[in-house]
Amino acid sequence: MNESQEAALIRRCQAGDKEAFGMLVEQYHSMLFGTAYLMMRDRGLAEDAVQEALIQIWKHIPSFRLKSSIKTWMVRILINEIKQEFRKKNLPLVSLEEAPDVPSECDEAETVLIHNEERQGLRQAMGKLSSEHREAIILRYFSGLSVPQIAVVTGQPEGTVKSRLSRALERLNETLNRDGMAEGGSNNGRTKN
């Protein structure tokens, strides 16, 4: 969908067209749910946050200015909802290493093991990051936001976002190298078998 098509869809939403809203959400639903899930590490909580965010998006879409990015605007609403959910339910920010592993769909046992080991390594490394660093990494590498967009979403200056991202990548690199997951993680899996 190009920009003018998206703008037309937004205008229809602003006029109260529910079908257009469904089409607009369809464009971004994977990104919205994924962002919520990666931050909350709980499918139910992520669904609640996304549902609340959709209500807010629909309620406030008449005030959305077409000059700004709808994606950034939607993510900002979602991030606010996620933070509210955490406050409302008094939840601690779950580290990724504590989260349950999701079974893989790979067929071969060896591939599954290697894949899981790599993922476990990354999960552990992500779990060691602070919540701000993790948020920046998720918004950059999953949600696909640029540094200025992350700055808008998080309400932080661009310089802070840049330093958070580079610090987070540095820490991930350090952790992965220290734990041997970076270069030889998958080889370890093979030699064990």
Q: Is residue 184 near another protein by the rule CB under 8 A? A: no
Least distance from C-beta 46 to another protein, angstroms?
8
Amino acid at 51: Q
**CB–CB of 131/123 below 8 Å?**
no
**CB–CB of 82/40 below 8 Å?**
yes
CA distances from 139 to 15, 32, 90, 148 (A): 30, 10, 23, 11
Q: Is residue 162 near another protein by the rule CB under 8 A? A: no
Cα separation, 144 vs 167, whole angstroms = 18
Least distance from C-beta 62 to another protein, angstroms?
5
Q: Which of 113, 169, 186, 188 binds another protein (CB under 8 A)?
A: 169
Q: Is residue 16 near another protein by the rule CB under 8 A? A: yes
Q: Which tokens belong to 105? A: 């769909």
Q: Which residues bind another protein (CB under 8 A)?
A: 16, 18, 21-22, 25-26, 29-30, 33-34, 37-38, 43, 46-47, 50-51, 54-55, 57-60, 62-63, 102-105, 118-119, 122-123, 137-138, 141-142, 169, 172-173, 176-177, 182-183
